[in-house]
């Protein structure tokens, strides 16, 4: 379990020292870490949730790592996104000699990012999560600075300042939690919080911090610039994993620690922000002229769905029998959406990277007729879009179906409007791109396409297929998710 | 006013000044400083949590450990922010983040 954190971080240190071999070290580490994630998942399925006390020090004093079904799924997710992205990056840097320096910087940072993410997923106490989140954010900002030009620098700085503010709020919130409960261990915190002023301020501070980090409307302003200015392999990691890790923390804390302060109106406000994010993000995506900016706005929209889970699950927790009726469906739907979106979004950014790299511009009008020249990348884009819209049989469809079911069963039908509107708007902006790509209009392209490699195209394709496969094999991930369900449904 | 009260008011003041500065000031260096003032308020507040009325046991060490880690995070973010701000300034001559849209 510790290996999932230490392997990438250790490899990051080695990759800084021997820069010439960084790519090889990273690829070997990626496979090893992925293997560790799979072994952990198997152990969780067989033996239930696992605990590991670092250095032999137990919970109140030491640092405890915990894996339940949810953590294990997130571990698998980070591995299934990171491995194809690493293959893409290795193939990209092996070809683009001009990016050699960037490549040498990419590997240690990407490994550090992965280690930080796994740290977020495995941490069993609020403070350890804070440290892991900060590591992740710093690595993420450093990766953004690898992008070209002044735009990347100013985007990275905006991201860094937002994350700085978020970090201080989070720390204050952690302090409040400690003052109220006298512990930072999540299972001990769960259920001990009483509905008093300090609990509310703890919840408010941590919520604001995580809304910044997961770029929920209206704190999303840093995301479109940062995610579009970064190199595509970086955008894929950031837009699929980094924001998801913050949303993961948000969902975990709100469904365990903060349950007692989650009065209906708070749930409705968070859900309302989620709905605004879906509509606003999709509308902005529809307006964009540039491919990567469009995909980045789509992330803003898709993160909104995750926050609809809060009003649905917390209302189920306060209703007798609500868990069986819609609580578990909403919870599974939300997590499933996070996973399906992460895979699809990484596929979109990688295939956008292939297309932009080949034609040399990321204007959407520039890609007309690209389907004939780059069929694999275009199909990858198409399949990933299917999941994003929520068409069957994709992971996105299963997730939205569960969320819709939960919305109707709980009587909160208004969320269904946002879910459906989001699907339609998503269809709008991805078809704008696919329509251009599939058009026959300018088959006589005057610019010669830069050549691309099979490994690059197929790494995007593999991610898109994974997002699709989630819609076909539903039982296994959901069974894993149910192991050691952190919330107790009435 | 008690010792506890003086520090509590101080922490609250620092937080307010910092948040106001971070929102109002455009100059990058001022913004980074304002965020550090927020950090100062947060750290003061956390140290205050370790305060115990009866002196025998000494203050609670857990919040102090939190502050120590928080300071490490704040220092590393600040130094990184200053490096990026300097490079941005060297390349464009700007001391503020561009406000215009994405295109």
Q: Which stretches of chain B sit within 8 Å of chain A by CB?
A: 22, 28, 31-32, 35, 38-39, 42, 45-46, 49, 62-63, 66, 69-70, 73-74, 76-78, 80-81, 84-85, 87-88, 91-92, 97-98, 102-103
Contact A157 B88 (CB under 8 A): yes
For the stretch A109-120, pLDDT in tens is 999 999 999 999
Identify which has the larger pLDDT, A329 or A263.
Answer: A329
Cα torsion angle, A308, A76, A205, A293, sign: negative
Give Cβ neighbours of residue A225 (< 8 Å, ≥ 6 apart).
A151, A154, A155, A158, A159, A296, B102
Question: For chain A, what's the residue count?
Answer: 490
Instruction: Provide the mean pLDDT of chain A.
Output: 88
Residue B100 forms part of a structural domain: no
Give the model's pLDDT for residue A384.
93
Q: DSSP readout, A287-302?
A: H-SBHHHHHHHHHHHH
Residue B103 forms part of a structural domain: no
CB B77 within 8 A of CB A160: yes
Cα torsion angle, A297, A302, A305, A307, sign: negative
Give Cβ neighbours of residue A159 (< 8 Å, ≥ 6 apart).
A140, A141, A144, A222, A223, A225, A226
CB A484 within 8 A of CB A48: yes
- Closest approach of A153 to chain B, Cα-based (Å): 6
For the stretch A224-246, pLDDT in tens is 999 999 999 999 999 999 999 99
Q: Provide the domain limits for residue B46.
A: 3-92
Judge whether residue A300 has pLDDT over 90: yes
Chain A residues within an 8 Å CB radius of B70? 168, 171
CATH of the domain at B55: 1.10.287.3510
Q: Which two tokens stand for residue A418?
A: 């946002």
Write the CA distances from A274 to A64, A279, A281, integer angstroms.
32, 9, 10
What secondary structure letter does DSSP report for A485?
Answer: -
Give the model's pLDDT for residue A262.
76
For the stretch B45-97, pLDDT in tens is 998 888 777 666 778 888 888 899 999 999 999 999 999 999 999 988 888 88
Contact B45 A172 (CB under 8 A): yes
Q: What mean pLDDT is predicted for residues A83-106? A: 85
Residue B63 forms part of a structural domain: yes
pLDDT confidence tier of residue B100, bands split at 50, 70 and 90: low
CA–CA dist A170, A168 (Å, integer): 5
For the stretch B27-36, pLDDT in tens is 999 999 999 9
Residue B69 forms part of a structural domain: yes
Q: What mean pLDDT is predicted for residues A9-14? A: 87
Q: Does A132 touch chain B (CB under 8 A)?
A: no
Q: What mean pLDDT is predicted for residues A300-328? A: 85
A64: three-class secondary structure by DSSP: strand
Among residues A378, A183, A335, A322, the alpha carbon closest in space to that of A245 is found at A335
Least confident of A207-211, A320-324, A364-368, A432-436: A320-324
Judge whether residue B102 has pLDDT over 90: no
For the stretch A245-264, pLDDT in tens is 999 999 999 888 888 787 88
Judge whether residue A296 has pLDDT over 90: yes
For residue A448, report the phi and psi dihedrals to the nearest 5 degrees: -70, 135
Domains in chain B: how many in total? Answer: 1
Give the model's pLDDT for residue B63.
87
Contact A178 B81 (CB under 8 A): no
- Share above pLDDT 70 across residues of chain B, in percent, rounded to a whole number: 91
A 208-237: CB under 8 A from B: 224-225, 228
Chain A residues within an 8 Å CB radius of B102? 224-225, 228, 288, 290, 293
pLDDT confidence tier of residue B103, bands split at 50, 70 and 90: very low
pLDDT confidence tier of residue A373, bands split at 50, 70 and 90: confident
pLDDT confidence tier of residue A2, bands split at 50, 70 and 90: confident
Using CB atoms within 10 Å of the CB of residue B1, give its burial: 0 to 12 exposed, 13 to 18 middle, 19+ buried.
Answer: exposed
């Amino acid at each position: 379990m510790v290996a999932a954190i230490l392997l990438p971080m250790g490899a990051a240190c080695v990759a800084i020292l021997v820069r010439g071999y960084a790519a090889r070290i990273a690829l070997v580490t990626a496979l090893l870490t992925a293997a560790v994630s799979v072994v952990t998942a198997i152990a969780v399925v067989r033996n239930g949730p696992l605990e590991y006390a670092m250095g032999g020090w137990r919970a109140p004093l030491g640092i405890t790592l915990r894996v339940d079904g949810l953590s294990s799924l997130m571990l698998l997710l980070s591995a299934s996104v990171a491995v194809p992205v690493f293959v893409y990056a290795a193939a990209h840097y092996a070809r683009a000699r001009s990016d050699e320096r960037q490549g040498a910087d990419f590997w240690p940072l990407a490994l550090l990012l992965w280690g930080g993410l796994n740290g977020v997923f495995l941490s069993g106490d609020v403070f350890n999560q804070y440290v892991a989140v900060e590591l992740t954010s710093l690595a993420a900002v450093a990766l953004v600075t690898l992008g070209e030009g002044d735009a990347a620098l100013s985007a990275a700085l905006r991201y860094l300042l937002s994350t700085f503010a978020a970090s201080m709020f989070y720390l204050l919130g952690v302090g409040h939690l400690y003052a109220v409960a006298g512990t930072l261990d999540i299972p001990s915190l769960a259920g001990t919080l009483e509905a008093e002023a300090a609990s509310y301020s703890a919840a408010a501070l941590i919520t604001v911090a995580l809304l910044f980090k997961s770029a929920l409307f209206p704190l999303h302003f840093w995301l479109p610039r940062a995610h579009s200015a970064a190199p595509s392999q970086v955008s894929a990691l950031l837009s699929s994993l980094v924001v998801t890790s913050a949303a993961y923390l948000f969902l975990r804390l709100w469904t365990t620690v903060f349950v007692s302060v989650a009065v209906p109106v708070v749930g409705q406000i968070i859900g309302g922000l989620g709905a605004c994010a879906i509509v606003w993000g999709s509308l902005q995506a529809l307006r964009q002229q540039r491919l990567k900016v469009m995909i980045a706005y789509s992330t803003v929209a898709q993160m909104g769905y995750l926050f609809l889970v809060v009003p649905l699950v917390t209302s189920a927790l306060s209703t007798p029998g609500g868990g069986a009726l819609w609580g578990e469906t909403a919870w599974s739907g939300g997590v499933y959406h996070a996973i399906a979106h992460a895979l699809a979004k990484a596929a979109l950014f990688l295939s956008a990277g292939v297309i932009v790299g080949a034609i040399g511009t990321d204007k959407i009008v520039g890609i007309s007729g690209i389907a004939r020249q780059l069929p694999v990348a275009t199909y990858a884009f198409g399949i990933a879009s299917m999941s994003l819209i929520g068409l069957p049989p994709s992971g996105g469809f299963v997730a939205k179906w569960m969320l819709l079911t939960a919305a109707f069963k709980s009587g909160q039908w208004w969320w269904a409007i946002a879910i459906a509107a989001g699907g339609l708007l998503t269809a709008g902006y991805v078809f704008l791109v696919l329509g251009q790509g599939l058009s026959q209009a300018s088959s006589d392209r005057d610019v010669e396409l830069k050549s691309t490699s099979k490994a690059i195209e197929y790494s995007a394709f593999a991610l898109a297929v994974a997002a699709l496969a989630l819609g076909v094999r539903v039982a296994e991930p959901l069974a894993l998710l149910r192991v050691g369900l952190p919330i107790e449904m009435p | 006013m008690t010792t506890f009260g003086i520090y509590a008011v101080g922490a609250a003041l620092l937080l307010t000044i910092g948040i106001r500065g971070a929102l109002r000031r455009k100059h990058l260096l001022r913004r980074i400083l304002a965020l550090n003032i927020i950090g100062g308020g947060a750290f003061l507040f956390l140290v205050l949590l370790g305060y115990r009325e009866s002196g025998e046991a000494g203050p609670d060490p857990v919040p102090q450990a939190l502050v120590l880690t928080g300071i490490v995070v704040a220092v590393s973010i600040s130094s990184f922010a200053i490096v990026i701000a300097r490079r941005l300034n060297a390349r464009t001559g700007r001391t503020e983040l561009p406000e215009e849209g994405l295109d």
